[in-house]
């Protein structure tokens, strides 16, 4: 098996590099201080508080300390059956369009890995019993041409997404039974790690907020601004017009075994590019010994632009199914 990922390049950009140095300068003394005060083990699987409070560890009852691995986005293994595939990635930037077409199959596999860790806590004052957090996350998403035997089943494209996020707890009723739980700011880099003409990358500043209900349903909103780049080195100057500038995600907890999700990205422009994703998560079973198992059967419908960076301006509809590990 061969792979098109022959040249690995992750240009984090000046903002992300500065943020990494800053987070280390903040996190190291705070971590040392925490180690002196509290050396006892904590139950990171506790479900105290709301769903989002548990996920982001927004209360002292949920706090699981720093530098422990948690799940972030779903860790997934899925089959992808679509109406098309991007055989020749194109860009409006000079020397960033493929000159030949590859005989890719419409149907392929999808592999996603996503993890995060809390770097520091207690950075800003909060209400008693509440806590903020500085997080680092990494997500890797690969489309695998597992059915393309003639091409030796390559990975068609792989996206890498490191992210630094600050999450602050809030408490405010927003209607329909939802209570706002957090507000946050993120520095986000995304790159496919390839050389020209296949290289695609961008950096964003993301504002985010989330609310949930007592039944576990969630509402998350993100809006972002792309960081400016030198036009001579910009792989994809129009990427925000296709992938979008904002995202709204809703997760409805139908019952203890089933959850339905809807995510909509939009470019906030008149032409209306973006994408929509519908997710159906099915919990295979709950036992007394493991009531919070994160494994789900996962059925997903995607339609629109930007299911990968290489295809940021390529529109397709695909049905995906497999298994995902969530909130582990």
Q: What is the pLDDT along the chain (328 residues), one digit of tens a residue?
A: 444 443 444 444 544 444 444 444 444 443 333 333 333 445 555 566 799 999 999 998 888 889 999 999 999 999 999 999 999 999 999 999 999 999 999 999 999 999 999 999 999 999 999 999 999 999 999 999 999 999 999 999 999 999 999 999 999 999 999 999 999 999 999 999 999 999 999 999 999 999 999 999 999 999 999 999 999 999 999 999 999 999 999 999 999 899 999 999 999 999 899 999 999 999 987 655 555 678 999 999 999 999 999 999 999 999 999 999 998 7
Q: What pLDDT does residue 48 have?
A: 62
CB 59 within 8 A of CB 47: no
Architecture of the domain spanning 13-325: Beta Barrel (2.40)
Q: What 3-state DSSP class applies to 68?
A: coil
Query: Is the bond leading into 253 cis (omega within 30 degrees of zero)?
Result: no
Say how far residue 18 (Cα) sits from the centre of its chain.
21
* Alpha carbons within 13 A on the beta-carbon side of 287: 5
How far is it, in rounded angstroms, from Cα 46 to Cα 53?
11
Domain residue limits, the chain: 13-325
pLDDT of residue 130: 94
Q: Give me the pLDDT at residue 49, please.
A: 75
Contact 136, 161 (CB under 8 A): no
Q: Which pLDDT score, from 0 to 100, does residue 292 have?
A: 60
Smallest Cα–Cα separation from 324: which of 264, 262, 280? 280
């Amino acid at each position: 098996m061969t792979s098109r990922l022959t040249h690995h390049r992750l240009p984090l950009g000046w903002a992300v590099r500065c943020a990494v140095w800053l987070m280390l300068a903040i996190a190291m003394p705070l971590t040392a201080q925490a180690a002196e005060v509290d050396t006892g083990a904590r139950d990171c699987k506790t479900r105290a508080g709301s769903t989002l409070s548990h996920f982001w560890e927004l209360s002292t009852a949920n706090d699981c300390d720093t530098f422990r691995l948690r799940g972030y986005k779903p860790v997934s293994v899925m089959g992808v059956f679509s109406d098309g595939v991007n055989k020749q990635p194109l860009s409006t930037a000079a020397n960033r369009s493929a000159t030949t077409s590859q005989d890719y199959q419409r149907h392929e596999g999808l592999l996603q890995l996503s993890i995060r860790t809390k770097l520091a806590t207690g950075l800003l004052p909060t209400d008693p019993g509440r806590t903020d957090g500085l997080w680092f996350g990494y997500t890797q998403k690969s489309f695998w041409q597992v059915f393309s035997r003639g091409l030796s089943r390559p990975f068609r494209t792989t996206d890498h997404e490191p992210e630094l996020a600050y999450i602050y707890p809030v408490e405010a009723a927003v209607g329909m039974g939802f209570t706002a739980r957090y507000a946050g700011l993120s520095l986000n880099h995304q790159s496919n790690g390839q050389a020209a003409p296949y290289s695609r990358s961008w950096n964003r500043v993301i504002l985010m907020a989330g609310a949930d209900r007592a039944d576990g349903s969630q509402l998350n909103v993100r809006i972002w601004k792309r960081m400016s780049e030198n036009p001579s080195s910009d792989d994809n100057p129009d990427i925000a017009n296709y992938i979008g500038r904002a995202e709204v995600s809703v997760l409805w907890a139908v019952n203890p075994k089933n959850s339905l999700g809807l995510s909509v990205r939009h470019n906030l422009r008149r032409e209306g590019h973006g994408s929509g994703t519908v997710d159906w998560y099915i919990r295979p079973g709950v036992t007394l010994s493991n009531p919070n198992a994160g494994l789900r059967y996962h059925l997903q419908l995607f339609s629109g632009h930007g299911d990968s960076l290489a295809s940021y301006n390529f529109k397709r509809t695909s049905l995906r199914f497999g298994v995902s590990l969530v909130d582990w």
